[in-house]
Amino acid sequence: MSSSPPDKERIGREMEEFFEGLWQKGDFWNFESSDYERARFAHESRLLAGRRYGRALELGCGAGAFTSLVAKLADRVVASDVAPAAIERAKQAGLANVEFRVENAMDRKWRDEGPWDLIVFNDTMCYLGWRYTFFDVAWFAHELYEATAPDGHVFMANTMNEEGDYLLLPFVVRTYRDLLLNVGFRIAKEDTFRGTRDGVEFTVLESLYGK
């Protein structure tokens, strides 16, 4: 067993290359055209309804399909993704109160720009858990807590499926959910969305955390 720490710069480059390759193909996940995705995003946005946020941060925004909903709830939004092709696509929406950036969430440049009134982390945690160490992901959760305003929220949604993709196994997803509780967050609201996409049934665990 090696005693050397993982090469996080190399991992970051690999993440960018992987997701850039997918977004170069266009809307790989059909966020813009799928009835399932539209229904999922609408369901998730209802958990955020009822409050106006000053400064919001979305990590792993992709091409901005959910960002357009966040932009209606906040005065200013910073949205980032590791894939340049995704950000170029997102900018085409012309959202006046959104600044799009090419950044890896694990670089934590957002940390020093806090506190944030809302941080959105939509179907992204599983990919960090796939490539980074448990310590890195746990420390990331801690820094989310530190970067959230005292009365702020963090919204995390994660897709679950019993078969086909180990990243989406329910016990793994629920471990991420509890990780944020362990660093100090509390559950303000929680719900699940169920739907079928391409003949496969999915459940999305939607958690809104407060400090």
Q: Is the pLDDT of residue 121 over 60?
A: yes
**188 neighbors 209 (Cβ within 8 angstroms):** yes
Average pLDDT for residues 26-46, to the nearest whole number?
91
pLDDT grade for 51, boundaries at 50, 70 and 90:
very high
187-202, pLDDT tens digit by residue?
A: 999 999 999 988 899 9
119-158 core/surface letters (b: 16 or more CB in 10 A; e: else): bbbbbbbbbbbebbeeebbeebbebbbebbbeebbbbbbb
How far is the CA of 132 from the CAs of 11, 105, 189, in angstroms? 8, 12, 28
- The chain-wide mean pLDDT, for the chain, equals 93
CA nearest 74: which of 89, 104, 54?
54
Contacts of residue 137, defined as CB under 8 A and 6 or more positions apart, other chains included, come to 125, 128, 129, 176, 179
pLDDT grade for 28, boundaries at 50, 70 and 90:
confident
DSSP 68: H
- 186, containing H or E segment: strand 186-197
pLDDT of residue 57: 98
Q: Is the pLDDT of residue 5 over 60?
A: no
Q: How many CB atoms sit inside 10 A of residue 92's CB?
A: 9
> For residue 143, how far is the Cα from the chain centroid?
15
pLDDT of residue 140: 96
pLDDT of residue 25: 87
65-92, pLDDT tens digit by residue?
A: 999 999 999 999 999 999 999 999 999 9
The class level of CATH for 8-210 reads: alpha beta
What is this structure's pTM?
0.93
Q: Is the pLDDT of residue 3 over 80?
A: no
Report the percentage of the chain scoring pLDDT > 90: 78
Contacts of residue 129, defined as CB under 8 A and 6 or more positions apart, other chains included, come to 137, 167, 172, 176
Question: Who has greater pLDDT, 125 or 4?
Answer: 125
pLDDT grade for 6, boundaries at 50, 70 and 90:
low
Question: Who has greater pLDDT, 100 or 8?
Answer: 100
pLDDT of residue 1: 46
Question: Who has greater pLDDT, 160 or 9?
Answer: 160
122-157, pLDDT tens digit by residue?
A: 999 999 999 999 999 999 999 999 999 999 999 999
30 conformational bin, left if phi > 0, alpha if psi -120 to 50, beta if neither: left
